[in-house]
Amino acid sequence: MSRQKIVLAYSGGLDTSVLVRILREDYGYDVVCCHADVGEARDPEKIRERAMKAGAIACEVVSAQDEFAKDYCFPAMQANALYQGVYPLSAALSRPLIARHLVQAARKHGATAVAHGSTGKGNDQVRFDLAVQGLAPDLKIVAPQREKNITRDEAMAYAEKYGIEVPTTKKSPFSIDENLWGRSIEGGILEDPAQEGPEEAFAWTKSWKDAPDEPGYLKIGFERGVPVTVNGEPMPPAALIRKVGEVAGRHGVGRIDLMEDRVVGIKSRETYECPAAVTLITAHRDLERFTTLGHSLRVKALLDQKYAELIYEGFWFSPLRRALQAFNDEHEKTVTGEVTLRLFKGSLHVVGRTSPYGVYNRALSSYGREDAFDHRASEGFIKLVGLPLQLFSRLHAGGTEPA
Q: Is 205 in the site for ligand ARG (CB under 6 A)?
A: no
Q: What distance in Å separates the CA atoms of residue 72 and residue 66, rounded to the nearest whole number? A: 10
Q: Is 37 considered catalytic here?
A: no
Among 123, 205, 292, 336, which residue sits at the site for ligand ARG (rule: CB under 6 A)? 123
Q: Is 184 in the site for ligand ARG (CB under 6 A)?
A: yes
177 or 304, CB closer to ligand ARG?
177
Total binding residues toward ligand ARG, as defined by CB under 6 A: 10
Q: Is 175 in the site for ligand ARG (CB under 6 A)?
A: yes
Among 37, 60, 124, 273, which residue sits at the site for ligand ARG (rule: CB under 6 A)? 124
Q: Is 271 in the site for ligand ARG (CB under 6 A)?
A: no
Q: What distance in Å separates the CA atoms of residue 76 and residue 72, rounded to the nearest whole number? A: 6
Q: Is 257 considered catalytic here?
A: no
Catalytic entry in 3, 26, 175, 366: 175
E-only strand ranges, 282-377: 337-344, 347-354
Among 177, 273, 288, 304, which residue sits at the site for ligand ARG (rule: CB under 6 A)? 177
Q: Is 124 considered catalytic here?
A: yes
Q: Is 9 in the site for ligand ARG (CB under 6 A)?
A: no
Q: Is 270 in the site for ligand ARG (CB under 6 A)?
A: yes
Q: Is 95 considered catalytic here?
A: yes
Q: Is 92 in the site for ligand ARG (CB under 6 A)?
A: yes
* Residue 148 near residue 293, CB atoms below 8 Å: no
Q: How far is CA 67 from the centre of its chain?
A: 14
* Residue 225 near residue 78, CB atoms below 8 Å: yes
Residue 357 phi, psi (nearest 5): -110, 15
Provide, rounded to whole angstroms, the least separation between the CB of residue 39 and ligand ARG. 15
Q: Is 179 in the site for ligand ARG (CB under 6 A)?
A: no
Q: Which residue, among 202, 218, 181, 243, has the nearest Cα to 344 in the 3D structure?
A: 218
Residue 265 phi, psi (nearest 5): 95, 0
Q: What distance in Å separates the CA atoms of residue 262 and residue 125, rounded to the nearest whole number? A: 12
Q: What distance in Å separates the CA atoms of residue 78 and residue 96, rounded to the nearest whole number? A: 18
Q: Are strands 233-234 and 267-273 parallel, antiparallel or unpaired?
A: unpaired
In the complex, the residues that contact ligand ARG under the rule CB under 6 A are 91-92, 123-124, 175, 177, 184, 186, 260, 270
Q: Which residues are catalytic?
A: 15, 95, 124, 175
